[in-house]
Amino acid sequence: MQVFVTGGSGFVGRQVVRRLAAEGYQPVCLARPGSEHRLPQVPGLQVRLGDVTDSDSLAGALEGCQAVIHLVGILREFPARRITFDRLHLQATVNLLAAAEAQGVRRFLHMSANGAAADGATAYYRSKWQAEQRVQGSSLRWTLFRPSIIFGREDRFCNVLARQIRLLPLVPVIGDGRYALAPVAVEDVAAGFVAALRRPVSVGQCYTVCGTERLPYTALLDRLGEVLGVPRVRKLFLPVPLLKPLAVCLKHRPWFPLTPDLLTMLVAGNSGDPLPWLQDMELQRPDLGAALRRHFHNP
């Protein structure tokens, strides 16, 4: 089976492409001209040049494919560079759905976000919900995945925390650090996407994709510290009201790690019930400690 993948050069996408190839599927990756080198080199990989935000570039791009895995997404906007939630989440999804329907692709797996809702607390969550509505309104056999925080060797969350634990005498904690997280390893996320291709039970379902272990942010820091050989992670608690004005002023500066949306989403927590996802995809119950050691332990 040929599977059309968008976002294949991203953190989750590279793992999905590797998993597809390992399980005998032929990944067909959409890539913008000049970005092909960022795709993983796996047997049978096909590259088709195009851009999900340009509907004309998708003409014929999905020919021969039986399924789509749509992974394109952003966490923050840079309007001056036309990087916006509306363009990358909603419009890209609309374009890809239309291309799939026109080119006879019937199966559509879509990565959304845990917290997506019409009245979501952030523009990020609302744009993810709007894209979900378009997927559900299509004629395709769809499945929605709503991941929580995804970690792995190339992530931009746990790797930042690990770097702070290694280098800083005091690790900054936003607010009280009690907000609950249920991080999930990227290989488990990829396994779920690929498993859905052969699981009819997943058609028409929306899954929360997260770990089975729910723990406060401060406890996650401590768990990472144990893996890194730092038995005591000293913390510096930063009041949210102190950070909000900075996040507003510097939200379009790539070097500043926070935006108002990211700040809101972090302190709201990110967890849920992953059991329907694990059961329907026939995945093993994740072991957070083992996954953290696999990705972050340096012997």
**Quick one: average pLDDT of 186-201?**
98
Residue 251: pLDDT band with limits 50, 70, 90: confident
Indicate the angle between helix axes 123-136 and 92-102, nearest 10 degrees.
10
Average pLDDT of the chain to the nearest whole number:
96
- What pLDDT score does 273 carry? 97
Q: Are strands 46-49 and 26-31 parallel, antiparallel or unpaired?
A: parallel
- The alpha-carbon radius of gyration of the chain (Å, integer) is 19
Using a cut of 0.85, tell me whether the model's pTM lies above it: yes
Residue 221: pLDDT band with limits 50, 70, 90: very high
d(CA 11, CA 116): 20
- What pLDDT score does 276 carry? 98
- What pLDDT score does 52 carry? 97
Catalogue all structural domains in the chain, each as residue range(s) with its CATH number.
2-149+185-210+272-285 (3.40.50.720)
- What pLDDT score does 265 carry? 96
Please give the angle made by the CA atoms of 274, 122 and 74, to the nearest 5 degrees: 75
- What pLDDT score does 299 carry? 57
- What pLDDT score does 184 carry? 98
Instruction: State pLDDT tens for residues 100-153.
Output: 999 999 999 999 999 999 999 999 999 999 999 999 999 999 999 999 999 998
Residue 216 phi, psi (nearest 5) = -65, 155
Q: Are strands 2-6 and 26-31 parallel, antiparallel or unpaired?
A: parallel
Pick the closest to residue 208 from 113, 90, 110 (CA basis): 113
DSSP string, 69-83: EE----SS-BGGGTB
Instruction: State pLDDT tens for residues 6-34.
Output: 999 999 999 999 999 999 999 999 999 88
